[in-house]
Each structure stands twice: as structure tokens, then as C-alpha cells.
A = this chain, B = another copy of it.
Amino acid sequence: MSKRKVERLNLLKFMPFRLNRLAAEFSNALAMEYMARFGIDIPEWRVLATLGLHDAPRSAQYVVRCTRTHKSRISRAVGSLVTLGYVARAEAMDDRREVMLELTPKGRAVYAELVPLLLKREEAILSCLSTEERAQLDHLMDKLEKSFDLVQCGD
């Protein structure tokens, strides 16, 4: 066997590994906030965030597209949120296959309380970056997302 030098790879400089670590740390730092306060996890938060952004009801399918989360996960998250009284399900009148989802007043209250907390926490974490660096980060993420063909959620 040849003794040719083997190419090495430093995990700590390997982008998928770094992204995974960073994403996990970031999520955990924020998850503590909402999980503890309102008993919801990340998929549930995604549903809440999607519905909270709009005033009119949206279908589960819409949430799936916006959050790029598997429909079974969304289905179960919606189930939990309904049990918690944060979300209401209703049949769509035009297409009875769809389930229209809407925040309840209680859900809206949670959303209104949660969003400032999360934005503040995000802000705290990003505070290690200058304004210019944050713009760079945003720009770089945009480019990478587009390159993965992660198309924005068409409204």
C-alpha cells in the first residue's frame, strides 16, 4: 500500500459540523425561554410564529411550506397547540381537505408575549457582532439559502 500523505479534515473547521453546533446552541439558548414559560417546543413555536405573522387563518399545508417542516411534525405540533388552547382548527369552506388554523386569543397573547422575548434574546446573542458584521451574516445566509434552492415562502 502506498504511503502517500492522507488528506486530513479538521472537524472544527468543517462547515456542516460548525453549522450544526451553532444551530443547536442557538436554538437551545432560545428554547429555554418558550419551553419553560408556555410548555411548547420548537415545532410548536414554528407553528405559532407562522400563524402569528398573519391575521387571517392559514392551512396546515401553508405552515408546512413556510416552516419547511415535515407535515407529520406540523400535524402533531398543531394537536398539542390545540390541546393547550393556543390554536383553533376549522374546516376550510372551499376545500374540505384542508384544515384552517388560527391563533386563539390565548394563543395571540402568548405570541405577543413571546416575540419580544425571543427578539431580545436573539439580539443578545448577535450582540457580539458589529452592525456591519450582522449585515454580512444576513447576506451570506441569504446566498447559501438560495444556493440550496430554499425558496422563500410564497404567500
Contact = CB atoms under 8 A, between A and B. Distances in A.
Contacts of A136: 136, 140
Nearest to A152: B12
Contact of A18 (B13, B14, B119, B141): B141
A41 to B, nearest CB: 13
A130 to B, nearest CB: 10
Contacts of A56: none
B145 A21 contact: yes
Interface string A31-53: 00000000000000010011011
Contact of A108 (B6, B49, B147): B6
B150 A21 contact: yes
A136 to B, nearest CB: 5
Contacts of A52: 6, 8-9
B6 A144 contact: no
A93 interface: no
Contacts of A11: 46, 49-50, 53, 66-67
Interface string A7-24: 111111111111111110
A82 interface: no
A116 B21 CA distance: 22
Closest 4 CB pairs of A and B: A19-B23, A128-B147, A23-B23, A16-B26
